Amino acid sequence: MEAKPSLIGMTLEELKGVARKGGMPGFVGKQLAQWLYDKKVTDFQEMVNISRKNQEWLSNNYIIGRDAPDSRVKSQDGTIKYLFNYGSNKLIESVYIPDKERATLCVSSQAGCKMNCYFCATGKMGFKANLSAAEIINQILSIPPQAGKGEVQLNPLTNVVFMGMGEPLDNFENVRKVIEILTAPWGMGWSPKRITVSTVGKLPELKDLLEQTQVHVALSVHTADIGQRESMMPAQKAFPLQNVMQLLSAYDFAHQRRLSLEYIMWRGVNDDMDHARMLARLIGNIPCRVNLIRFHQVEGVDLQPCSEERMIMFRNFLNQKGITATIRTSRGEDILAACGMLATDKGKRPADQS
């Protein structure tokens, strides 16, 4: 028997289509969107302005699609890594990062990744599967879960970053749909300023993202030495950094929308002043900020984090060139939830602490 489709992950037009298929007026589509994305219901019976008969038809033909995380593990710094099990080959992780009033969710868009960046634990897993729009939005709708008895309720999400497992632009259609649901007035009504999509610079989807949405963009640069980037990030061959920067230079990042360049620093690899100069040249006049990221040891990768002193020198050099550069605070390293550490291979599953 074929599995019933999920309602979450559907756009307003698709939900109206569902309503019409069940012989309901089109406006029921809007009511469905409200129940799914605003009220975040998990049961058809909670949809009290939809008749019993129609609730029954919906539950016979669809599922809501909400799936609670399988397990979670909490870092000393408050970061929580959640594991979702979406069935065969689809074990994925999402990371909840609290920071005073803010709470950011680092969302996965694929199980594994095709990009095979040398320094990344997800890349080492290889590609398993794309996540559906339902499986992506489910992470956002389900975290933080309702607190259990005696637990303190975690703050609701203020931001979402597509920086978890996978290259979001390699699953563009589903990521675009989720952004639409997050930002549409009929959906969750978020400002696009609360959303960041991270990419190695996959073309032509990056252009589509820039044209079709207003979300912030984070470009994984890591080195402006082209030969070196090619050896560490195979995507450089297909999507040369020079072409990506040229494309980005045609968009406005000086006002509402933000461009950040991500730069993981490795000892003796990309942490000297020559590399800082190359990065400054690459940036030229493009308004952006540089995030300098501490490297977290990944099994089987013979790279070392660079010293704090080097990071400060690198940052200061960029600042002197008029480029905003900051050293990003590391979160969740002790639970393998920090940047580049997500992997759901056997033996690395987080222990259930719930």
Q: Name the active-site residue from 93, 135, 167, 262.
A: 93
Exactly one of 200, 269, 280, 336 binds ligand SF4 (CB under 6 A); which one?
200
DSSP 146-214: PP-TTPPPPPPP-EEEE-SSS-GGGGHHHHHHHHHHHHSTTTT---GGGEEEEES--TTHHHHHHHH--
Nearest residue to 288 (alpha-carbon basis) of 224, 217, 352 = 217
The rounded distance, in Å, linking the Cα atoms of 19 and 1 is: 23
The minimum distance between CB 92 and ligand SF4, in angstroms, equals 11
- For ligand SF4, what does the binding mask look like between residues 72 and 111, x meaning CB under 6 A? ----------------------------------------
The minimum distance between CB 118 and ligand SF4, in angstroms, equals 9
Q: Let me know how many helices (H) and strands (E) the chain has, helices first.
A: 12, 12
Q: Is 339 a catalytic residue?
A: yes
State phi, psi for 96 to the nearest 5 degrees.
-95, 120
Q: Is 120 in the site for ligand SF4 (CB under 6 A)?
A: yes
Pick between residue 28 and residue 335 the one whose CB is nearest to ligand SF4: 335
The minimum distance between CB 189 and ligand SF4, in angstroms, equals 29
The rounded distance, in Å, linking the Cα atoms of 100 and 98 is: 6
The burial of 257, by beta-carbon neighbours within 10 Å (0-12 exposed, 13-18 middle, 19 or more buried), is given as middle
The minimum distance between CB 170 and ligand SF4, in angstroms, equals 8
The minimum distance between CB 52 and ligand SF4, in angstroms, equals 45
Exactly one of 54, 75, 109, 122 binds ligand SF4 (CB under 6 A); which one?
122
Strand, helix or coil at 118?
Answer: coil
Q: Is 106 a catalytic residue?
A: no
Exactly one of 9, 29, 65, 166 binds ligand SF4 (CB under 6 A); which one?
166
How many residues interact with ligand SF4 (rule CB under 6 A)?
A: 13
Using the 8-state DSSP alphabet, how is residue 67 labeled? -
Instruction: Identify residue 337 by its one-letter amino acid code.
Output: A
Using the 8-state DSSP alphabet, how is residue 2 labeled? P
The minimum distance between CB 343 and ligand SF4, in angstroms, equals 9
Q: Is 113 in the site for ligand SF4 (CB under 6 A)?
A: yes
Q: Is 183 in the site for ligand SF4 (CB under 6 A)?
A: no
Q: Which residue has the tokens 């999920």?
A: 6
The rounded distance, in Å, linking the Cα atoms of 315 and 276 is: 8
Q: Is 115 in the site for ligand SF4 (CB under 6 A)?
A: yes
Pick between residue 80 and residue 169 the one whose CB is nearest to ligand SF4: 169
Pick between residue 28 and residue 338 the one whose CB is nearest to ligand SF4: 338
Q: Name the active-site residue from 117, 120, 288, 339.
A: 339
Helix axis angle, 205-212 relative to 241-248, nearest 10°?
A: 20
Tokens of 108: 């996965």
CA–CA distances in Å: residue 287 to residues 34, 109, 182, 243, 291: 38, 27, 26, 17, 13
Exactly one of 91, 111, 117, 157 binds ligand SF4 (CB under 6 A); which one?
117
The minimum distance between CB 218 and ligand SF4, in angstroms, equals 11
Exactly one of 29, 123, 305, 350 binds ligand SF4 (CB under 6 A); which one?
123
Exactly one of 67, 93, 135, 167 binds ligand SF4 (CB under 6 A); which one?
167
Q: Which stretch binds ligand SF4 (CB under 6 A): 17-25, 94-102, 112-120, 178-186?
A: 112-120
Which residues are catalytic, by number?
Answer: 93, 339
Which positions lie near ligand SF4, rule CB under 6 A?
Answer: 113, 115-117, 120, 122-123, 165-167, 200, 220, 340
